Amino acid sequence: MKKINTVLGLIAPEDLGSTLVHEHIVASQPGWECDPLSRPYDRGKMVQRCLRALSPVKPYGLGAIIDATPVDLYRDVEILKEVSEQLQIHIICSTGRYTEKRGKWDYLKARSGNGVGDMVSELYDGFMQEITRGIGDSAVKPGVIKVATGLNCISSIEEAVLRAAARASKETGIPIITHTEDGTMGPEQAALLVGEGVDPKRIMIGHMCGNPSLKYQMDVLSQGVNIAFDRFGLEMFLPDKIRIATLIGLLGSGYEDRVMLSHDFIGCSSGRGGVMPEEGRRLTANWSFVHVLRDIIPALKTAGITDAQVRTMMVDNPRRLLSD
């Protein structure tokens, strides 16, 4: 097994431990900086907010987090380094890009003249710069490539991202993790990436818990890739009870060696705070970095899922994804 890139340097795979595979320690909506009423960007205060959000995981022995924040959601590796050092939790950061609708694309569209082939090349060069040389002048190297597609389709720009990521993954061995929108396009993502020659074992299709259809799950799993049930606590999309029932069905069918767990939680973000409506607060009451460890795993065990199956999902599968 090869060593794993974390924000504090290389670690041996056996040092990874229990891992949440899709979180955002710090992430912000594009455009926050254009709001004159936004809070000033204060890295020190953001570190403290992230530490408060993450501290509850410590008693549960969490070893690592994959931070799935691409550059266009305001990835800040200096915050990740500080949080990792203070909490002694390994953090694996991402290169990659977000969806066309919600990412930042005007600059690259202008550079590539809207030509998809040119855009693939531009994106590939950027991914490889960060993978091989580090992010900016930080010397931090990403451990995953994060890609994303929108609702019910893969746009030409998103296709370019996937093809560039596939090329970089094949050359470097770095795994690809994905964002899917509302339980759509998982099979298509898997087919495109595998069709481009990426090892299926190096692919994790994300937000699969957004679709309770076992046919949808099997359409993805039949392609040999890994999947993530990684939005536990976000019950405005789907109740956790349905996510758990779908997961139990997959585990009962013998897929524990290809499923991983997480929340897609955001520890802190820039911009103005807001007041969430009462219904929104109710539907996100459990959304946090600790929900899987504190609530979901005990619920799975009560339903008959074994300690060995939990360890496979939380320890063995992330280690294989990142290091095999």
Res. 114 pLDDT band, cuts 50 70 90: low
Q: What type of residue is 224?
A: G
DSSP assignment of 49-97, as one string? HHHHHHGGGGGGT--EEEE---GGGT--HHHHHHHHHHHT-EEE-EEE-
Q: What is the SS3 assignment for 249?
A: helix
Q: Which domains does the chain have, with CATH numbers?
A: 4-323 (3.20.20.140)
Q: Percent of the chain, pLDDT > 70?
A: 98
Position 110 scores a pLDDT of 84
- Helix 214-221 and helix 186-195: axis angle, to 10°? 10
Tell me which long-range contacts 11-17 makes (C-beta under 8 A, separation of at least 24): 11/90, 13/319, 13/322, 13/323, 14/319, 15/63, 15/90, 16/63, 16/64, 16/90, 16/315, 16/318, 16/319, 16/322, 16/323, 17/61, 17/62, 17/63, 17/64, 17/90, 17/315
pLDDT in tens, 275-310: 788 998 999 999 999 999 999 999 999 999 999 999
Whether this prediction's pTM lies above 0.95 is answered by yes
pLDDT digits 0-9 by tens, 241-277: 999 999 999 999 999 999 999 999 999 999 987 778 8
pLDDT in tens, 8-32: 999 999 999 999 999 999 999 999 9
Calpha distance 163→167 (Å, rounded): 6
63-98: pLDDT as tens digits: 999 999 999 999 999 999 999 999 999 999 999 999
pLDDT at position 115, please?
A: 66
